[in-house]
Amino acid sequence: MTDIYDITRKGERKNIEFKENLKKDYHLKKDRKHQLASQMKYRMERGNGEALYFIGVHDEGRLVGLSDNEMEESLFVLNKIALEIDAVILDIEKQSAGMGKVAKVLIGKPHEKKDHLLVGVAGHVDHGKSTLVGTLTTGTLDNGSGGTRIFLDVQKHEIERGLSADLSFAVYGFCKEKVVRLKNPLNKKEKAKLVEKCDRVVSFVDTVGHEPWLRTTIRGIVGQKLNYGLLVVAADQGPTHITKEHLGIILATELPVIVVMTKTDTVPEERVMEVRREIFDLLKLVGRIPFAVKSLEDADFVAENMNQHIVPVLKASAVTGEGLKILDELFLRLKIPSNIENTKKPFMMYIDRIYSVMGVGTVVSGTVRQGKLKIGDKLLLGPMETSRFLNVSTRSIEMHHYKKEVADVGDVVGIAIKGAEIDDIRRGMIVCHTDYPAKAVREFEADVVILVHPTTIKKGYECIAHIETIAETTTFEPLDKEYLSAGDTGKVKMRFKYRPYYIHEGQKLIFREGRSKGIGTITKIVK
């Protein structure tokens, strides 16, 4: 509410309308009501389906304030006008102004939360992850040289070398069960329209297959609140040590996983069957049940019955289009875990990326872990190195370039914030509502499993710990044993070496140092 004057001066918001007072006996007269309904429809069109009304505010943005009776009458009239264009009042915020009150009212279509499926894509370098996703989201078949990966790789050197060096994001969707793809995925407006139009949106987080960037891959899988993992295995090479590494990361985060054999057009059928057997053997080795998906009926069956134990395995070619319809059917039918309980909690998001956008300011992006976020909400940002949190506010919200008034659990969003400079922020921090119990943590205890380590782990051992979007040097101290070695489980105390972060009990973690690796669960925060 305090941003009214800024909005008025800068003219940044095209969907805002100021109304001093609305009267039943005047504003609901037939001609006047139709005029106001047309005005509201125009504001909603300019605001991507939503309009903001400030009641008790003069046209120039000056706060006037209304009595309780005047406010109730104005809101009644506003709701009647909204019904004329099949819209409703989605949200009301009231604030005192002088002797009366003013209200910020969000108008939009009846809120039907979109299905948002978030899929992390992993696999060895040059196994065709980006190419598959580029072809799937656009419907454009590849030329055999990975041409469709250009729709995901955003850095010049990535395009030139054909290797992804950072996380990439792609999207497509379904409207009334019909697939909607992007003609030009590099067009921001087209992406925004797709998100607005579709009742199910599928977002892909394309990770990095090159071994030196394993840290980035872990961030993509651990830090994004994924619903499913998609592991790509090329039919010409078969499963590699990186395939096993990425599968282990997916399983450590307890994600259900789909395995796709790519490049099936480059090898004979005998090789495809051989690689399928290798994949089946690998999955059985880690206690999973492979299921060969060969038809749309198989896809429907596995989508209905899939869990962490059942792993669908299918063939796909970005060149011939084989398997793409089956993948479409899977992504249309896969169940999305219920977020009802998390929706009721205060908003919280781990920061994955930080930007400075011309005309917008500082933007942080990530996946909403819990709660709802609205424009204007007051937030905490941190923790800083001093353990304190900064007070900031939300200026705008975008998902795949679609401007939103509300961000829900599971949405991958960019949030423009006011009150912090880009140099104040680093990956692994959180933004949260002011009533969220955020605390800076330096030490914690965890139950861990040592997967790979050449010697023994004793007090003082250092590694990189990955928790959500946090990747920080951490020291180890075994608590129930003198030392730990490969294959051991145990309780340890861990300490962030350089700065505090916000973490809580129950979170999964992955730690690594060179080729040494382990997984664990946070059991206690040391105060």
Same-domain pairing of 230 and 325: yes
Same-domain pairing of 410 and 359: yes
Residue 438 lies in a domain: no
Could you say which of 63, 81, 108 is where a domain stops?
Answer: 108
User: How many separate domains does the chain show?
Assistant: 4
Domain with 204 in it: 115-333
pLDDT of residue 223: 60
Domain of 370, CATH number, reads: 2.40.30.10
CB 15 within 8 A of CB 43: yes
pLDDT surpassing 90 at residue 159:
no
How far apart, in Å, do the first and last CA atoms of the chain sit? Answer: 37
Could you say which of 90, 108, 126 is where a domain stops?
Answer: 108
What mean pLDDT is reported for the chain? 86
Same-domain pairing of 220 and 321: yes
Pairing between strand 390-399 and 378-382? antiparallel
pLDDT in tens, 86-123: 888 888 888 888 889 999 999 987 656 678 899 989 88
Q: How far apart are CA 77 and CA 28, in angstroms?
A: 7
Its pTM surpasses 0.85: no
Cβ neighbors of 29 (< 8 A, separation 6 or more) are none
pLDDT of residue 125: 81
pLDDT surpassing 80 at residue 75:
yes
Residue 362 lies in a domain: yes
Same-domain pairing of 420 and 503: no
Amino acid at site 136: L
Q: How far apart are CA 34 and CA 476, in angstroms?
A: 69
pLDDT in tens, 441-458: 999 999 999 988 888 889
Q: How far apart are CA 224 and CA 437, in angstroms?
A: 21
Nearest Cα neighbor of 206 from 231, 184, 189 is 231
3-state secondary structure of 31: helix
Reported as a pLDDT band with limits 50, 70 and 90, residue 328 is very high
Q: How far apart are CA 172 and CA 195, in angstroms?
A: 8
Same-domain pairing of 393 and 375: yes
pLDDT in tens, 360-389: 889 999 999 999 999 889 999 999 999 999
Q: How far apart are CA 519 and CA 448, in angstroms?
A: 6
Same-domain pairing of 148 and 48: no
> What phi and psi values does residue 141 have, to the nearest 5 degrees?
-70, 150
**How much is the average pLDDT of 405-417?**
90
- Cα separations in angstroms, 31 against 38, 59, 77: 11, 21, 14
pLDDT surpassing 90 at residue 183:
no
